[in-house]
Amino acid sequence: MTTKPTALVLMFLLAGCGGETKKPSVATPIDPLYELIVSDLAKGEPPVLDFVGTQVWINPEFCNGDSLFYRWSTEIEMDDELVEALQRASEQTSPFPVHGDFGPDGRVTEIASFQEDFYYQDDNTQVDAKCMIQFWRPGYTPDGNRAVIRFYYGPSSHGAVGTYVFQHTEDGWKIVASKIDYYA
């Protein structure tokens, strides 16, 4: 019996399937846009006086659901292409890159509840953070030259959502619009 070369190649490729799956040895890379957001937020004033730190605390899980639900008071103009990019991003299920580097201004840490940290902390307790955020997955336009990222922002007594829009240039990604929307 003679085996055709195509069949041999196919048998060779299939021989590697079905074995034990190895975990990657390197950390999931951080999207550079996250570091731009964290760096930008670290430059601003903390939302409440009890937050006295210099680092932005980042919850190690992506937000679930559609970030467009929190769009009613955003003054940032998002065209259809960016809105569709957010819709596609909300359908993704990729894990959060917890072992990556968010830059010197970010610290990945569990955040039980943005509202609890605002309402239930002792009056004399100071929190060693600038603010707290939890990202939704980033949305990219089909050409890859524009992106939008949304995130929960805190502390805030009634909740807040941040929106950042980016443009890719020959010098890298640039923030072209940003806003934190506080809800009453």
Q: How confident is the model at residue 12 (pLDDT cuts 50, 70, 90)?
A: very low
Residue pair 73/124 in contact (Cβ under 8 Å)? The answer is: no
DSSP state of 11: H
> Domain residue spans in the chain?
30-182
pTM as predicted: 0.76
Mean pLDDT of the chain: 75
34, 45, 171, 102: CA torsion to nearest 10: -30
- Print burial letters for 130-139: b (CB count within 10 Å at least 16), e (below 16): bbbbbbbbbb
Q: Can you give the pLDDT at residue 126?
A: 74
Residue 135 token pair: 């990202």
State the Cα–Cα distance between residues 36 and 69, nearest whole angstrom: 24
So what's the pLDDT on residue 3? 46
Report, as an integer, the average pLDDT of 136-158: 89
Q: Which residue spans within 45-170 are E strands per DSSP?
A: 56-58, 106-108, 131-135, 139-140, 146-154, 160-169
Mean pLDDT in residue range 13-42: 59
- For the stretch 116-134, pLDDT in tens is 655 545 555 677 888 889 9
Q: Which stretch of 3-12, 28-37, 82-91, 101-110 has the lowest confidence by average pLDDT? A: 3-12
Q: Is the backbone peptide bond immediately before 155 cis, with ω within 30 degrees of 0?
A: yes
